[in-house]
């Protein structure tokens, strides 16, 4: 299960899920749809399996992975939940919220999952396919996005194959991901305060509503990410001759994030539009302005890093 291999694609029905569970049990790699983007899953309790994720993605080993669990009880076996963390989990799980919490002594998680940090990033995903898979295996799954490191995240099976064909064992085909941008990542401190490490579908206002205090700290993530391999110009109201324009609202483009200016639709279409732009003949990409509120903050965060 290493090096060049044949990547199978299977429908995410009962037989496909059983095959995925069998491959994961053996330490292999499976791409799985979630409500955010496709994840590249491996069993989190085996160092060799986790090492394969980093190798297949070409991901730097200092960039830790998110642990996916079937429920809060499973997460509480691995990490210490303060009352604020538990309130957040109860309000938003299953769903696109990742919590960074102190790791428990004896948690059966390979150190490479958290890149050696004393914390773990955990979430309970809502997508029925990922839920079914987590229910079919007796271990947690480590799963970053199923793309080569630094490139555009996948929201469809063909996006996964475009960058990982021949490098992973299986793609579970569950169609397009409904959400389209990665989970919100919040670090929850012992005093109940929050640090937003990555904006996402759960806004800070929604998180605060669950009782946690949320001063915003600097997002400490990789500056260049989600890159389509061409220069990207943001805030464009029209296209130059050599640009492929991604529209939004009144700015029509070659494709649009959302003609009616809807941020939920724009999030779901974001990576498909970037994939289309990457494949287009034009050497440059331009993107229409997107309002920086609510889910728009997550979209603009990804766009800024695509353009960096």
Q: Which residues bind ligand AMP (CB under 6 A)?
A: 63-66, 100, 114, 117, 119-121, 144-145, 182, 185, 197, 221
CA nearest to 176, candidates 244, 127, 133: 127
CA angle in degrees (0–180, nearest 5) for 290-295-296 = 15
Taking the least distance from each CB to Mg ion, the nearer of 93 and 271 is 271
Query: Could you tell which of Mg ion, ligand AMP, none binds residue 117, using a CB distance below 5 to 8 A set by kind?
Result: ligand AMP
> Residue 287 CB, nearest distance to ligand AMP (Å)?
21
Query: Could you tell which of Mg ion, ligand AMP, none binds residue 44, using a CB distance below 5 to 8 A set by kind?
Result: none
Taking the least distance from each CB to ligand AMP, the nearer of 98 and 210 is 98
H or E element, residue 114: none
Query: Could you tell which of Mg ion, ligand AMP, none binds residue 64, using a CB distance below 5 to 8 A set by kind?
Result: ligand AMP
- The number of C-alpha atoms within 13 Å of 92 and in the hemisphere containing its C-beta is 30
Taking the least distance from each CB to ligand AMP, the nearer of 114 and 258 is 114
Count, residues near Mg ion per rule CB under 5 A: 1
> Residue 141 CB, nearest distance to ligand AMP (Å)?
12
Query: Could you tell which of ligand AMP, Mg ion, none binds residue 204, using a CB distance below 5 to 8 A set by kind?
Result: none
Query: Could you tell which of Mg ion, ligand AMP, none binds residue 121, using a CB distance below 5 to 8 A set by kind?
Result: ligand AMP
> Residue holding tokens 């995410």?
12
> Residue 41 CB, nearest distance to ligand AMP (Å)?
11
Taking the least distance from each CB to ligand AMP, the nearer of 113 and 239 is 113
Examine residue 94 and say whether the peptide bond preceding it is cis (omega within 30 degrees of 0): yes
> Residue holding tokens 């009352």?
83
Structure tokens at 111: 């150190």
- Cβ contacts of 218 within 8 Å, gap of 6 or more: none
CA nearest to 228, candidates 173, 282, 176: 282
100 forms beta bridges with 121, 187
Q: Is 10 helix (H, G, I), strand (E, B) or coil?
A: strand
> Residue 237 CB, nearest distance to ligand AMP (Å)?
31
Give, as ranges, the residues between 132 and 191 that touch Mg ion (CB under 5 A). Answer: 145
Q: How far apart are CA 171 and CA 19, in angstroms?
A: 11
> Residue 45 CB, nearest distance to ligand AMP (Å)?
16
Q: How far apart are CA 252 and CA 260, in angstroms?
A: 10
Give, as ranges, the residues between 78 and 117 that touch Mg ion (CB under 5 A). Answer: none
Taking the least distance from each CB to Mg ion, the nearer of 248 and 271 is 271
Q: How far apart are CA 9 and CA 158, in angstroms?
A: 10
- Cβ contacts of 183 within 8 Å, gap of 6 or more: 36, 66, 96, 97, 98, 123, 198, 200, 201, 202
Query: Could you tell which of Mg ion, ligand AMP, none binds residue 124, using a CB distance below 5 to 8 A set by kind?
Result: none
> Residue 189 CB, nearest distance to Mg ion (Å)?
25
> Residue 282 CB, nearest distance to Mg ion (Å)?
25
Q: How far apart are CA 29 and CA 217, in angstroms?
A: 34
> Residue 59 CB, nearest distance to ligand AMP (Å)?
8
Query: Could you tell which of ligand AMP, Mg ion, none binds residue 300, using a CB distance below 5 to 8 A set by kind?
Result: none
Structure tokens at 113: 């999952």
Tell me which DSSP letter residue 249 carries. Answer: T
Query: Could you tell which of ligand AMP, Mg ion, none binds residue 197, using a CB distance below 5 to 8 A set by kind?
Result: ligand AMP
Residues that bind Mg ion (CB under 5 A): 145
């Amino acid at each position: 299960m290493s090096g060049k291999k044949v990547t199978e694609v299977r429908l995410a029905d009962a037989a496909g899920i059983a095959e995925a569970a069998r491959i994961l049990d053996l330490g292999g790699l499976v791409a799985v749809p979630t409500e955010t983007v496709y994840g590249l899953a491996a069993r989190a309790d085996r160092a060799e399996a986790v090492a394969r994720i980093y190798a297949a993605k070409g991901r730097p080993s200092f960039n830790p992975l998110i642990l996916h669990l079937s429920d809060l009880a499973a997460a509480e076996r691995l990490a210490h939940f303060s009352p604020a963390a538990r309130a957040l989990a109860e309000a938003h799980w299953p769903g696109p919220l990742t919590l960074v919490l102190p790791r428990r002594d004896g948690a059966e998680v390979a150190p490479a999952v958290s890149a050696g940090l004393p914390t773990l990033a955990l979430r309970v995903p809502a997508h029925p396919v990922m839920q079914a898979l987590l229910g079919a295996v007796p271990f947690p799954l480590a799963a970053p996005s199923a793309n080569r490191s630094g490139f555009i995240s996948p929201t469809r099976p063909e996006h996964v194959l475009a960058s990982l064909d021949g490098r992973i064992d299986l793609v579970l085909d569950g169609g397009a991901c409904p959400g389209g941008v990665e989970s919100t990542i919040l670090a929850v401190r012992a005093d109940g305060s929050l640090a937003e490490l990555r904006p996402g579908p759960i806004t800070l206002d929604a998180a605060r509503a669950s009782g946690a205090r949320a001063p915003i700290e600097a997002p400490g993530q990789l500056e260049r990410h989600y890159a389509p391999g061409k220069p990207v110009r943001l805030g464009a109201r029209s296209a130059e001759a050599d640009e492929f324009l991604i529209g939004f609202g009144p700015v029509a483009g070659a494709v649009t994030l959302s003609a009616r200016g809807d941020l939920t639709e724009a999030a779901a279409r974001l990576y498909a539009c970037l994939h289309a732009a990457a494949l287009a003949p034009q050497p440059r990409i331009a993107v229409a302005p997107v309002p920086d509120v609510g889910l728009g903050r997550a979209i603009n965060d990804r766009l800024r890093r695509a353009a960096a």
